[in-house]
């Protein structure tokens, strides 16, 4: 089974986010990027399938994503069999629709049995990748998945609902799965292995020819949320704070005595 795992670099949320001068986008120039946490979960899930059943896992990134080489080599260090860098399109594809177009073109040239990727990304504006990609490919798709079991020519995916209800779905391949969480926490890639992977090279560039998709929303402006209210901060020693909290609860009759 060939599993392709699209990986996206997203702004590191520990950084201060700056807007562009015209305030219609994020200023990406000085921003630090990290792999989207849901993509890290997706890669882990794909590697778990490989560990259990054997599979060829290919990490796929867009060449225009910041620091994507590092992310792809890390995927190899974790156990991916190969990694590809997809080129094509114009500039940095900020919208998910553009990413879906590039990936759909790549998957047409190098077919996969299963695409596993993060259910969402922190900077999705126009929708999530898994359904968009599946719709372009005409494949079945399931999102918010918390575990995949592979069988011959099919998989079962555990789809999670608010409140914890889980649907187990049998899905024919090829299919696209949007992963919410892998069955276990993503594994660690020691830097020495990442460096080994870098020295070995082996990132393959593949040119894609994206076709037009759905019209995108138009960004009128971006802005920071105003703080409408702010908590009253309790100060003093830990003991004072504890006393104040117990007082608040007692005042509402939530603590006996």
Partner 1 sequence: MTTRIILGALIVLAGLSLAGVRLSWLARLVRSGQPAPGRLAGAPARLAAELAEVIGQRKLFKRWRSGVPHALVFWGFLILLFTIIEALGDTFISKTFAIPLIGHAGALGFIEDLFTIIVLAGLAVFTVTRLIESPQRRGRASRFYGSHTTAAWITLGMIALVMITLLGYRAAQVDTGDFPYGRAAFASHAVAAWLRPLGHGANSVTETVLLLANVAVIMGFAVFVTYSKHLHIVMAPLNVAFSRRPRALAALGELPPAAPADAPQLELLTWKQRLDALTCTECGRCQSACPAWNSGQPLSPKLLIMGLRDGLMSGDGEPAQVIGGDVLWSCTTCGACVEQCPVDIEHVDTIVHLRRQLVDAGDIEPAIQQVLQNAATQGNTFGKSGRMRARWTKELGFAVKDARKEPVKSLWFVGDFASFDERLQVLCRSLARILRDAGVDFGLLFDSERDDGNDVRRIGEEGLFQMLAEQNMEALRGASFDEIFTTDPHSFNTLRNEYPAFGLDKPVLHYSQLLGRLLADGSIPVDPLGMRVTYHDPCYLARHNRLTGPPRQVLAALGCELVEMPRHGLNTFCCGAGGGRIWMTGPEQAERPSESRIREAVALGVDHFVVACPKDFVMYADAVKTTGNQDRITVIDLVQLVDRARRAVTALETV
Partner 2 sequence: MSNAVLVLAEHDGKQISDSTYELLGAARGLAAALGGTAEVALLGPRDLAGQLGGADVVVSVDHPALAQYLPQASEVALLAVVAERSPRLVLTTCATPGLDLAAALSVRWRAPLAAYVVALDVADSAVVATAQILGGKVLAELELPGEHGIAAVIGGAFPAAAGRGDRAPEIAEVTPPAELDELAMSLVQVTEPQGGDVDITTAELLVSVGRGIESEDNIELVQDLGDALGVPLSASRPVVDAGWLPKTRQVGKSGLTVKPKAYLAFGISGAPEHLEGMRDAELVIACNTDANAPIFDVAHYGTTADLFDLVPALTEKLDQ
Contact positions vs partner 1 (CB under 8 A): 12, 14-16, 32, 34, 78, 185, 187-195, 238
Contacts of 80 (CB under 8 A, 6+ apart): 5, 43, 46, 47, 57, 58, 59
Query: Binding partner of residue 205 among partner 1, partner 2, none, CB under 5 to 8 Å per kind?
Result: none
Residue 170 within binding range of partner 2, rule CB under 8 A: yes
Query: Is the distance from CB of 35 to CB of 71 less than 8 angstroms?
Result: yes
Q: Which of 144, 124, 165 is nearest to 42 (CA)?
A: 144
Nearest to partner 2 of 76, 96 (CB atom): 96
Query: Binding partner of residue 195 among partner 1, partner 2, none, CB under 5 to 8 Å per kind?
Result: partner 1
CA–CA distance, 186 with 178 (Å, rounded to integer): 16
Residue 22 within binding range of partner 2, rule CB under 8 A: no
Angle at 131 between CA 104 and CA 180, to 5 degrees: 115
Residue 117 within binding range of partner 2, rule CB under 8 A: no
Query: Binding partner of residue 215 among partner 1, partner 2, none, CB under 5 to 8 Å per kind?
Result: partner 2
Residue 118 within binding range of partner 2, rule CB under 8 A: no
Residue 119 within binding range of partner 2, rule CB under 8 A: yes
CA quadruple 194, 197, 201, 206: dihedral sign: negative
Residue 75 within binding range of partner 2, rule CB under 8 A: no
Is residue 192 within a helix (H) or strand (E), and if so which, with residue range?
helix 191-200
Residue 32 within binding range of partner 2, rule CB under 8 A: no
CA–CA distance, 76 with 231 (Å, rounded to integer): 45
Shortest distance in whole angstroms from residue 132 CB to partner 2: 5
Residue 193: phi and psi, rounded to 5, are: -75, -35
Among 28, 56, 66, 156, binds partner 2 (CB under 8 A): 156
Query: Binding partner of residue 32 among partner 2, partner 1, none, CB under 5 to 8 Å per kind?
Result: partner 1
Query: Is the distance from CB of 196 to CB of 77 less than 8 angstroms?
Result: yes
Q: Evaluate the omega torsion of the peptide bond into residue 174 and state whether it is cis, within 30 degrees of 0.
A: yes
Among 124, 147, 148, 194, binds partner 2 (CB under 8 A): 124
CA–CA distance, 70 with 83 (Å, rounded to integer): 11
Query: Binding partner of residue 128 among partner 2, partner 1, none, CB under 5 to 8 Å per kind?
Result: partner 2
Query: Binding partner of residue 175 among partner 1, partner 2, none, CB under 5 to 8 Å per kind?
Result: partner 2
Residue 167 within binding range of partner 2, rule CB under 8 A: yes
Shortest distance in whole angstroms from residue 231 CB to partner 1: 18
Among 33, 159, 203, 210, binds partner 2 (CB under 8 A): 159
């Amino acid at each position: 089974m060939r599993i392709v795992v699209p990986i996206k670099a997203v702004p590191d949320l520990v950084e201060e986010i700056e807007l562009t001068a015209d305030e219609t986008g994020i200023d990406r120039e000085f921003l630090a990027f990290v792999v989207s946490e849901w993509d890290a979960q997706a890669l882990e899930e794909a590697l778990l399938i490989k560990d259990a059943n054997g599979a060829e896992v290919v990490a796929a990134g867009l060449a225009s994503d910041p620091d994507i080489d590092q992310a792809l080599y890390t995927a190899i260090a974790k156990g991916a069999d190969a990694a590809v860098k997809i080129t094509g399109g114009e500039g940095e594809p900020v919208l998910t629709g553009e990413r879906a177009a590039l990936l759909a073109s790549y998957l047409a040239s190098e077919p996969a049995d299963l695409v596993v990727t993060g259910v969402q990304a922190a900077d999705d504006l126009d929708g999530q990748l898994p359904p968009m990609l599946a719709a372009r490919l005409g494949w079945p798709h399931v999102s918010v998945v918390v575990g995949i079991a592979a069988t011959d020519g099919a998989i079962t995916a555990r789809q999670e609902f608010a409140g914890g209800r889980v649907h187990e779905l049998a899905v024919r391949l090829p299919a696209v799965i949007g992963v919410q969480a892998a069955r276990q926490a993503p594994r660690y890639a020691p830097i020495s292995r990442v460096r080994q992977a870098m020295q070995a090279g082996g990132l393959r560039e593949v040119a894609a020819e994206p076709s037009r998709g759905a019209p995108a929303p138009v960004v009128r402006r971006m802005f920071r949320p105003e703080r409408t209210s702010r908590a009253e901060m309790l100060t003093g020693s830990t003991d004072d704070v504890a006393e104040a909290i117990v007082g608040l609860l007692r005042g509402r009759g939530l603590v006996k005595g």
